[in-house]
Chains A and B, each alone.
Chain A
């Protein structure tokens, strides 16, 4: 079937039994495509949507022993309890601050790094560097935290010992809240930048090399080439990654704040994930945990839709 349609299709009142522009028409025309989609749809349905009733736990006083059906409905009580708690508002603020900083510094880093890596001509060096840059991704946060404390502790940390021996003052990387924030973000960048370059490098390889050759002929230097060819070439990838990252701004990962945080900086280090872990999971208040998760997901989805809308309005492709 020619998907572009035959000239007779443009005529109203198609001779065939199928309604013009009716659902069945499209089904028949693109049957193969629908079939293709159907396979993952089954997986999505079974493994994501079927258990989705779990979201309603947020509205019930759930206990595993009672079971789902026996647990009574409590409406928005769990939500009210959470939002009234001053602790929650604090962790909400912290989460947003940390995520925003992460985005600010952590989003551009892999892009810049990828572009730099792409500029390296020496093949073996490029390969080796890439592999090494991926390594932090594989270290668990517990290990990273251990190393960090050995390096950055105020009295015994190696970095501070070095600073003092050079005549400087101890820097409270981990014990003063503003310093801690930046250390936290810095470590985040360190751990994710290398791995993050993979996707941008893949995008860069998709750029037509003829464009580069033409640019050379036009006398363009390296920076110009990057600015005019590489960046625009990976623009759609950047937009997509940005949309997804913005969707995660209300999200909260547990490992990093838990491992790097300490009681001294708790007022800035406590995030939604650590809060949920204490109040929701360890105290077996599943409905609280689910309610908070629902809130986060809802905000995330809305943000993604808004950003996507904006992206399309300015002419980009978006993700929906």
Chain B
């Protein structure tokens, strides 16, 4: 009886906290959506709160009507997918061996990886390297260099380490090879972790544009976030464009807000699909005692 009331109280606290957290997270977001749909004047006058004022689809229609934008979107999706696949592959190839205590030189190999978490050459040497590899203006300059992530690797290594050794031992005794163990036991059991890392890779790549800023100069090949970022900083630039004629310029706030939508949409779409990997209870009956 005691425990049931305590449970009920606890439940209430949990739901209350989560609801507050959700509200605190979504209200600013609603504000940004409202900004992206509001008229220029309302935005300049800072009158917009949660609902749009002076409904105005200009920002979105401009972005969507732009054929280069669609092209950029598809290109970015391609880059993100390739990046995520390569990243996952490298992470697993690195984490799995490092997890085996019997591997000689393990600590040293681990240090090589962890070192990269802290030290890097800097933008200019990186640029020179990419240039020397003739990867400028190639999508591979956005896929290859950052595909290995020490951070993600450490996380996966930790998850692998949580898989009981007894499982692997019994597989060996059954005649399974290293590959087999990896593919048939370790990976399926690490599905939540792998899904997490996939998410980190994908979202990280989707939202990063600093490298593209320097590696890609052909506007045809600009990934989406770079394009959006340039648009926002272009319209926010206070330097008068001399005689700028043309369709009415959009207030930067409105454009910025619309761009945020583009940044977030993928995750909102992709995440529910990834949800199914975050299923618990996969370990049932795997280990006795």
Binding site for B on A (CB under 8 A): 2-4, 23, 26, 30, 32-34, 36-37, 39-41, 43-44, 46-55, 57, 64, 113, 116-117, 119-120, 127-136, 138-140, 142-144, 146-147, 150, 190, 193-194, 198-199, 201-210, 219-223, 236-237, 240, 244, 247, 286, 290, 293-294, 297-298, 300-301, 304, 317, 319-320
In the complex, besides A117-B18, A138-B267, A201-B192, 13 extra interface pairs with C-beta distance below 8 angstroms are: A34-B103, A40-B91, A44-B113, A55-B119, A55-B122, A120-B18, A139-B32, A194-B21, A203-B192, A208-B287, A210-B284, A304-B114, A320-B111
**A3 near B172: Cβ-Cβ < 8 Å:** yes
Asked whether any CB of chain A lies closer than 8 Å to the CB of B109, the reply is yes
Please report the C-alpha to C-alpha distance between residue A33 and residue B104 in the assembled complex, in whole angstroms: 11
Please, which residue of chain B has its CB at the minimum distance from the CB of A140?
B260
- B144 and A47 contact, CB distance less than 8 A: yes
What are 23 residue pairs bridging A and B, where the CB atoms are less than 8 Å apart in the complex? A4-B169, A30-B103, A36-B94, A43-B147, A44-B113, A54-B125, A117-B18, A130-B271, A134-B267, A146-B253, A190-B24, A203-B192, A203-B193, A206-B189, A206-B192, A206-B280, A240-B158, A286-B124, A293-B122, A297-B119, A300-B118, A304-B118, A320-B111
Asked if B10 and A223 sit within 8 Å, CB to CB, the answer is yes
Residue of B with least CB distance to A235? B162
Please name all residues of chain B whose beta carbon is closer than 8 Å to the beta carbon of A247 when the two chains form the complex: 117-118
**In this assembly, does B96 line the interface, its C-beta being within 8 Å of a C-beta of chain A?**
yes
Cα A140 to Cα B263 in complex, Å, equals 10
Residues of B within 8 A of A301 (CB): 114-115, 118-119
Which A residues touch B114, using CB under 8 A? 301, 304, 319-320
Of B158, B161, B253, B275, the most chain A CB neighbours within 10 A belong to: B158
The CA of A304 and the CA of B154, in the complex, are separated in Å by 13
Which residues of chain B are near A51, meaning CB under 8 Å? 120-122, 125-126, 128-129
Is residue B67 within 8 Å, beta carbon to beta carbon, of the partner chain?
no
Cβ–Cβ contact A54 & B260, under 8 A: no
Q: Who on chain A is nearest to B126 by CB?
A: A51
Q: Knowing A54-B124, A120-B15 are in contact, say whether A133-B21 is a contact too (CB < 8 A).
A: yes
How many of B's residues come within 8 Å of A, CB to CB?
97
Tell yes or no: B17 within 8 A of A by CB: yes
Q: Is B199 part of the binding interface, using a Cβ–Cβ cutoff of 8 Å?
A: yes
Q: Is the CB of B283 within 8 A of A208?
A: yes
Partner of A120, one of B14, B90, B193: B14
A300 to chain B: which residues have CB within 8 Å? 118
State which of B122, B155, B189, B264 has its C-beta within 8 Å of the C-beta of A199.
B155
Please state if B110 and A198 are interface contacts (CB–CB under 8 Å): no
Central interface residue in A2, A26, A150, A199, by most chain B CB within 10 Å: A199
Partner of A40 from the list B93, B111, B124, B263 (CB cut-off 8 Å) is: B93
Q: A37-B98, A54-B124, A64-B124 are in contact. Are A47 and B267 (CB under 8 A)?
A: no
Which residues from A are CB-within-8-Å of B214? none
Contacts A23-B104, A55-B119, A136-B28 given: A206-B97 contact, CB under 8 Å?
A: no
Contacts of A142 in B (CB 8 A): 256
Binding site for A on B (CB under 8 A): 3, 6-7, 10-11, 14-15, 17-18, 21-22, 24-26, 28-29, 31-32, 46, 89-91, 93-94, 96-98, 100, 102-105, 107, 109-122, 124-126, 128-129, 144-148, 151, 153-155, 157-159, 161-162, 169, 172, 177-179, 189, 192-193, 195-196, 199, 207, 253, 256-257, 260, 263-264, 267-268, 271-272, 275, 278-284, 287
Query: What is the bound-complex CA distance between A46 and B282, given in angstroms?
Result: 38
Is there an interface contact between A47 and B94, defined as CB atoms closer than 8 Å?
no
Q: Is the CB of A236 within 8 A of B18?
A: no
Contact of B103 among A33, A48, A116, A298 (CB under 8 A): A33
CB distance from A238 to the nearest CB of B (A): 10
Q: Which residues of B contact A222 (CB under 8 A)?
A: 6-7, 10-11
A136 and B25 contact, Cβ closer than 8 Å, known pairs A39-B93, A210-B284: yes
A6 to B190 CA separation, bound complex (whole angstroms): 30
A289's nearest neighbour on chain B, judged by CB, is B122
Distance A129 CA – B158 CA, assembled complex (angstroms): 27
Known: A3-B172, A205-B279. A53 touches B154 (CB 8 A): no
Contact status of A116 and B24, CB under 8 A, knowing A44-B113, A221-B3, A320-B110 = no
Taking a contact as CB atoms closer than 8 A, the residue among A127, A133, A206 that contacts B272 in the complex is A127
Task: Say whether B148 contacts A47, CB under 8 Å.
Answer: yes
How far apart are the CA atoms of A284 and B145 in the complex, in Å?
Answer: 25
Whether B31 pairs with A147 at a CB distance below 8 angstroms is yes
User: What is the minimal beta-carbon distance from A247 to any residue of chain B, in angstroms?
Assistant: 7
A contact residues around B118 at 8 Å (CB): 247, 297-298, 300-301, 304
Q: Please, which residue of chain A has its CB at the minimum distance from the CB of B96? A: A36
Q: In the assembled complex, which residues on chain B have CB atoms less than 8 Å from the CB atom of A37? A: 93-94, 97-98, 109
Which residues of the partner chain B approach A40 to less than 8 Å between Cβ atoms?
90-91, 93-94, 113, 148, 153
For A233, the closest partner residue in chain B by CB is B162
Contact of B120 among A46, A48, A144, A206 (CB under 8 A): A48
Q: Is the CB of A150 within 8 A of B46?
A: yes
Contacts of B117 in A (CB 8 A): 244, 247, 304
Residues of chain A with a CB closer than 8 A to B121's CB:
48, 50-55
**Residues of chain B within 8 A of A48, CB atoms compared:** 116, 119-121, 148
CA distance A209 to B153 in the complex (A): 26
Neighbour of A131 across the interface among B93, B153, B178, B271, CB < 8 A: B271
The closest CB in chain B to the CB of A135 belongs to B29
